Amino acid sequence: MVVPGLEGVSANHPYIKLENGDLTVAKYYSWDGASGVPDNPDNMRASCLHDALYQLMRLGLLDRKYKDVADQLFRRICLQDGMKKNWADFMYDMLRDFGDGATKPDKHPKGEIIEIKYKRLL
């Protein structure tokens, strides 16, 4: 999916690929659904792509100046997936007004994906 506003922008992560604005999220990407509202068919796809873009920002792989692009994408996909306009507008307003902290690297420090190996105790 080419994200309007991200044309020419690229960033790579093991589960998220953004190449010239074309966003791909890997099959086993893990996210927590839409924050603060029930997970529904009209917000799941939007929340996945939105969380992926915010994660790229937190990791310093995508400039935070693209936050509104991610928020607008969330709204647009919610509408495509059947959400009522007034509810999509409300959720967009909440993201715009309160989502800034979720894009800051200091809130979610960089880390590595680690694999824990253990011995069977019995």
Q: pLDDT digits over 64-96, tens only?
A: 999 999 999 999 999 999 999 999 999 999 999
Q: Using alpha carbons, select from 6, 18, 16, 13 the residue that is nearest to residue 52.
A: 16
- Please give the Cα distance from 63 to 103 (Å, whole number): 9
pTM: 0.85
- Please give the Cα distance from 64 to 62 (Å, whole number): 6
Q: pLDDT digits over 18-69, tens only?
A: 999 999 999 999 998 998 888 999 999 999 999 999 999 999 999 999 999 9
- Please give the Cα distance from 78 to 39 (Å, whole number): 12
